[in-house]
Amino acid sequence: MNVVSIENRKLVLQLQAKSLDALGVLYDLHNKMVYRTALGITGDTEVAADLLQDVFLRLFRFAERIDPDRPIEPWLYRITVNLAYTWLKRRRWQHPIEDFAEWLAGDGSNQPSQVAEHDEEWAEMERAIQTLPPAQRTVIVLHYINELSLEEISEILEVPAGTVKSRLHYGRKALRKFMSSEDIVAEAQYEFT
C-alpha cells in the first residue's frame, strides 16, 4: 500500500467514526475538484458552492458506505455529478458561468492582466460549454478540466467506456461547430461595421 492510500484509508476510517477533523482534511484536499466539477456542469457559481457543501455533507452522512481501501475521488465525482444533474433537471435554463477564468485557473495564479487578455476567449468557451447537453458537458468537464482518463470517467458515471468516448466525441464536435459558427458571426459583424 502506498502512502497516499494509507492516508486515504486512515481518513475514511476516521470519517466513518464521525470525525469532523477527518471531514475537514478531506474537504481541504478535494473541495477545488468538487467545485470545478459542479461549476462546469451547472454553469452557476452559487449553485456550485451549494453543491460543494452538499457533497461534503453527504460524505459525512454516508461515510459507512465508502470502502476505505479504494480512492475517495471517484465517489466524490459521482456524487457531484449526480447532484449537478438533479439540479439541471429541476432548472430549465442555465445562465453563463460568471467566474469562468477563475474557475479554470483554480488556484488564483493568473494575474488580473493575464485574465483580462483572455476574457473574450473565456466568454466564448463559456457559451460553447453551456450549449452542450448535460451528459456531454459532464464528460468534457471531467476529461479536460479535471484531467480524468476515460476509464475513470466511466467508473464515476457508471457507464461503459464506449459511452464516455462517444459523449466526448460528440461534445468536441459540438464545441468545434459552435466555435466555428461564432467565428463566422464575428467575421460577418466585422464586415458590416
- State the pLDDT at residue 95: 39
Give the count of beta carbons closer than 10 Å to the beta carbon of residue 72: 19
Cα dihedral 100/101/104/106 (nearest 10): -110
Question: Angle at Cα 6 formed by Cα 2 and Cα 10, nearest 5°?
Answer: 170
pLDDT tens per residue across span 143-168: 888 888 999 999 999 999 999 999 99
Tell me, letter by letter, the H, E, C secondary structure of the chain: CCHHHHHHHHHHHHHHCCCHHHHHHHHHHHHHHHHHHHHHHHCCHHHHHHHHHHHHHHHHHCHHHCCCCCCCHHHHHHHHHHHHHHHHHHCCCCCCCCCHHHHHHCCCCCCHHHHHHCHHHHHHHHHHHHHCCHHHHHHHHHHHHCCCCHHHHHHHHCCCHHHHHHHHHHHHHHHHHHHHHHHHHHHHHHHCC
- State the pLDDT at residue 13: 94
Q: Residue 148: phi, psi to the nearest 5?
A: -90, 150
Q: How far apart are CA 103 and CA 108, in angstroms?
A: 9
Domains of the chain, earliest start first? 1-91 (1.10.1740.10), 116-193 (1.10.10.10)
- Report, as an integer, the average pLDDT of 102-117: 48
- pLDDT band at residue 47 under the 50/70/90 scheme: very high
- pLDDT band at residue 63 under the 50/70/90 scheme: very high
Question: What mean pLDDT, rounded, does the chain reach?
Answer: 79
- State the pLDDT at residue 94: 39
Per the listing, cell 476510517 goes with 13
- pLDDT band at residue 118 under the 50/70/90 scheme: low
* pLDDT: which is higher, 90 or 174: 174
Nearest Cα neighbor of 84 from 30, 148, 34 is: 34
Length of the chain: 193
- Report, as an integer, the average pLDDT of 28-40: 94
Query: In this structure, what C-alpha cell is assigned to residue 150?
Result: 476515460
- State the pLDDT at residue 151: 92
- Report, as an integer, the average pLDDT of 7-28: 93
- State the pLDDT at residue 28: 95
CA 167 to chain centre: 15
